[in-house]
């Protein structure tokens, strides 16, 4: 039996009386492009923080590449790359300085770090901005840099929290092709995003979290079949988009927003 890249069992996180993530159990196979979806406040970022060691679970376990993962699992941390919610950038460094810093923090030698820094800056089209401080970067540039930093050490598992937010169409296309290349080379990617078209195009498997609970998990085809079986008209349901599947699962279908906010022009 193949070892899962990511495996959670009963992952739970409480904030006081609020249960942000409630006994979430799922598995991501190695080499899978996994989309983790949910409405705002559903618990996506909390889950990704627990998976990457930024937040301690109240209950449950996380395994990465078959080994129990905690904040102190330094060897496992070398195997993962993360673009967290706040991007983890140091505003007063330049992009090459930051990438060199990250490379060395992940244990790369100086030569490899420098070489990869140059390659990544070229790839991310940031090589003309090497003297600019990160604080002066646009949001999209910061996202690209955060992604470059997440992959500089060649992680086997990549966690991306909203990586395409604020990134222009050209850069987004470039990033997508990079991520697909990583998948073809055996890496595992765990992605959260609100852009469902991207998930539909890139991800082979999807999990949906709502109000802290995992409400769906499987391949997109499996989810489509599941939703289709509950809808009348099998022919139309075969063409369901991920957005329709998502809305159907999280229970937002049928809400008539037009009748609200009548004062809006």
What residues make contact with another protein under the rule CB under 8 A? 52-56, 71-72, 74-75, 77-78, 80, 82, 84-93, 96-97, 100-102, 104-110, 113-114, 127-133, 135-136, 149, 263, 265
Tokens of 84: 């967290």
Nearest to 211 by CA among 7, 3, 20: 20
Question: Least separation, in Å, of the C-beta of 237 and another protein?
Answer: 41
Nearest approach in angstroms of CB 97 to another protein is 6
Q: Which residues contact 10 (CB under 8 A, 6 or more apart)?
A: 23, 24, 25, 59, 60, 61
Give the residue with the Cβ less far from another protein, 89 or 250: 89
Q: Which residue, 40 or 262, has its beta carbon nearer to another protein?
A: 262
CA distance 182 to 191: 13
Least separation in angstroms between residue 180's CB and another protein is 24
Three-state DSSP class for residue 251: coil
The answer to whether the beta carbons of residues 103 and 117 sit under 8 Å apart is: yes
Q: Which is nearer to another protein, 83 or 183 (CB)?
A: 83
Task: For the CB of residue 252, give the shortest distance to another protein in the complex, in Å.
Answer: 27
Smallest distance, another protein to C-beta of residue 150, A: 9
Tell me whether residue 146 or residue 199 sits nearer to another protein (CB atom). Answer: 146
Strand ranges in the chain using DSSP code E only, listed in sequence order: 6-15, 18-28, 33-37, 59-64, 67-68, 80-83, 157-161, 188-192, 205-210, 213-219
Judged by DSSP in three states, 151 sits in helix
Selection from 234, 202, 194 nearest residue 220 by Cα: 202
Place of tokens 């195009």: 201
CB-wise, 141 or 220, nearer to another protein? 141
**Closest separation between CB of residue 4 and another protein, Å?**
21
């Amino acid at each position: 039996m193949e070892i899962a890249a990511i495996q959670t069992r009963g992952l739970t996180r409480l904030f006081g009386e609020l249960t942000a993530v409630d006994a979430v159990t799922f598995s991501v196979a190695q080499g899978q492009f996994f989309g983790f979806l949910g409405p705002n406040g559903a618990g996506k970022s909390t889950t990704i923080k627990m998976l990457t060691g930024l937040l301690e679970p109240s209950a449950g376990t996380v395994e990465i590449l078959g080994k129990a993962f905690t904040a102190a699992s330094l060897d496992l941390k070398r195997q993962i790359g993360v673009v967290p919610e706040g991007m983890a950038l140091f505003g007063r460094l330049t992009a090459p300085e930051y990438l060199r810093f990250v490379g060395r923090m992940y244990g790369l030698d100086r030569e490899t770090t420098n070489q990869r820094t140059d390659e990544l800056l070229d790839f991310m089209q940031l090589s003309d901005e090497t003297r600019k401080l990160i604080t002066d970067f646009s949001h999209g540039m910061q996202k690209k840099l955060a992604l470059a930093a997440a992959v500089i050490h060649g992680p086997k598992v990549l966690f991306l929290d909203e990586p395409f937010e604020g990134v222009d169409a050209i850069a987004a296309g470039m990033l997508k092709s990079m991520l697909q290349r990583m998948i073809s080379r055996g890496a595992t990617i765990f992605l959260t995003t609100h852009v469902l078209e991207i998930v539909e195009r890139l991800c082979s498997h999807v999990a949906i979290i709502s109000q802290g609970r995992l409400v769906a998990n499987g391949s997109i085809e499996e989810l489509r079949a599941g939703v289709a079986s509950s809808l009348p008209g099998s022919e139309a349901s075969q063409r369901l988009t991920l957005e329709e599947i998502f809305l159907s699962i999280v229970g937002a279908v049928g809400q008539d927003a037009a009748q609200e906010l009548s004062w809006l022009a």
